[in-house]
């Protein structure tokens, strides 16, 4: 029996009352191939709530400072560096939301808010400085062949000299990975202009999750034997996608950045759906489920409940993510 057939058969077993959900899921995957053609790659606008509201206008403004960057790319860098934490400090003494080391800040920090000082801990200075530094690097490598944004990112990681020397992204694995990481993350911070590609792993992820229907909730649960096979919300979604070879972060607010963000009327089965008490900030997300169609998800709701079908159209619905392999791989292990 194929994975898809097994998924459909098992889905039907949940009862006639939800048979309409199965029909919607099957219908979506019948047309999925058609959706995969002509899909937009997204715009430089920011996805809803992906950047905390306190920084959104800064990122939108300074992300347009030069042609080598855009707001989504700048957001991806800030998220990768600090998770939008203005108080972040690394073991290497990188500081602030943009993680400048003191020497680089001394040379490239700018007074973004015009208050007379350059404060690495103030996002009003650090975010403009990150954009300014990107654009300065882009100017250093402007004559190198290839994509100017990728060359800029390579210069950020390996230095402008290496980009000039090799005529583009140098053959350093670390640098190549960095370029791919940021450009992949960029897609999760951009607001798509049209439908995004259906997930190749979605059906099997749903199949995994629906086999867990009726399992009691456990806060912090990962489904391990010592936990009695129990899950919490993000433990279930992580395990479901891990079953098809896609590794997601452990917590829901980081899972939101594992791919592009379809609109409510563009949801497909397998999309992750998120919920929050603050609809302006993805870092405040507190719950996640797997969309199955018909306005329903499979989720592990709370202590005392079991994994079940729940409606998604509630006041705390935040948005959705269409998980991609590259998007998941790009996510930092800690932010």
List the catalytic residues.
Answer: 81
Separation CA 57–CA 39 (nearest Å): 28
Contacts of 236 (CB under 8 A, 6+ apart): 209, 212, 223, 290, 298, 299, 300, 307
Structural contact between residues 254 and 274, judged by C-beta atoms closer than 8 angstroms:
no
Structural contact between residues 285 and 316, judged by C-beta atoms closer than 8 angstroms:
no
Q: Which strand ranges, in their side-by-side order, compose the sheet holding 285-293? A: 308-311, 296-299, 285-293, 272-276, 317-321
3-state secondary structure of 45: coil
Separation CA 185–CA 59 (nearest Å): 15
Helix 53-62 and helix 71-82, axial crossing angle in degrees, nearest 10: 130
Phi, psi of 276 (to 5 degrees): -155, 155
Separation CA 187–CA 73 (nearest Å): 8
Max CA pair span of the chain: 69
Contacts of 295 (CB under 8 A, 6+ apart): 311, 312, 313
Strands (DSSP E) contained in the chain are: 272-276, 285-293, 296-299, 308-311, 317-321
What number of residues does the chain have? Answer: 335
Structural contact between residues 254 and 331, judged by C-beta atoms closer than 8 angstroms:
yes
Between the two ends of the chain, the Cα-to-Cα distance in Å is: 41
Q: Is the dihedral of CA 281, 282, 287, 288 positive or negative?
A: positive
Structural contact between residues 256 and 186, judged by C-beta atoms closer than 8 angstroms:
no
């Amino acid at each position: 029996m194929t994975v898809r057939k097994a998924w459909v058969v098992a889905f039907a077993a949940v009862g006639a009352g939800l048979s309409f959900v199965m029909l919607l899921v099957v219908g979506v995957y019948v047309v999925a191939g058609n959706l995969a053609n002509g899909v937009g790659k997204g715009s430089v606008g920011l996805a809803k709530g992906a950047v905390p509201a306190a920084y959104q206008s800064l990122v939108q403004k300074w992300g347009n400072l030069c042609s080598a960057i855009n707001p989504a790319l700048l957001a991806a860098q800030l998220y990768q560096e600090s998770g939008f934490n203005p108080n972040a400090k690394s073991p290497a003494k990188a500081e602030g939301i943009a993680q400048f080391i003191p020497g680089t800040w001394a040379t490239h920090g700018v007074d973004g808010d015009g208050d007379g000082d350059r404060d690495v801990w103030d996002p009003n200075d650090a975010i403009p400085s990150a954009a300014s530094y990107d654009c300065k690097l882009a100017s250093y490598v402007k004559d190198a062949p290839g994509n100017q944004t990728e060359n800029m990112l390579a210069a950020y990681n390996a230095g402008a000299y290496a980009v000039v020397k090799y005529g583009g992204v140098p053959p350093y694995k670390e640098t190549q990975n960095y370029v791919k990481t940021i450009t992949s993350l960029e897609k999760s911070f951009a607001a798509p202009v049209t439908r995004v590609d259906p997930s190749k792993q979605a059906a099997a992820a749903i199949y995994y999750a629906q086999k867990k229907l009726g399992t009691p909730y456990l806060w912090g649960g990962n489904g391990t034997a010592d936990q009695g096979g129990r899950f919490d919300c993000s433990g279930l979604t992580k395990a479901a996608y891990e079953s098809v070879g896609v590794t997601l972060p452990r917590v829901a607010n980081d899972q939101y950045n594992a791919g592009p963000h379809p609109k409510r009327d563009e949801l497909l089965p397998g999309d992750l759906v998120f919920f929050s008490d603050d609809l302006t900030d993805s870092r405040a997300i507190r719950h996640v489920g797997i969309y199955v169609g018909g306005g329903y998800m499979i989720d592990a709701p709370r202590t005392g409940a079991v994994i079940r079908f729940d409606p998604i159209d509630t006041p705390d619905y935040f948005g959705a993510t269409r998980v991609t392999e590259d998007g998941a791989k790009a996510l930092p292990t800690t932010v």
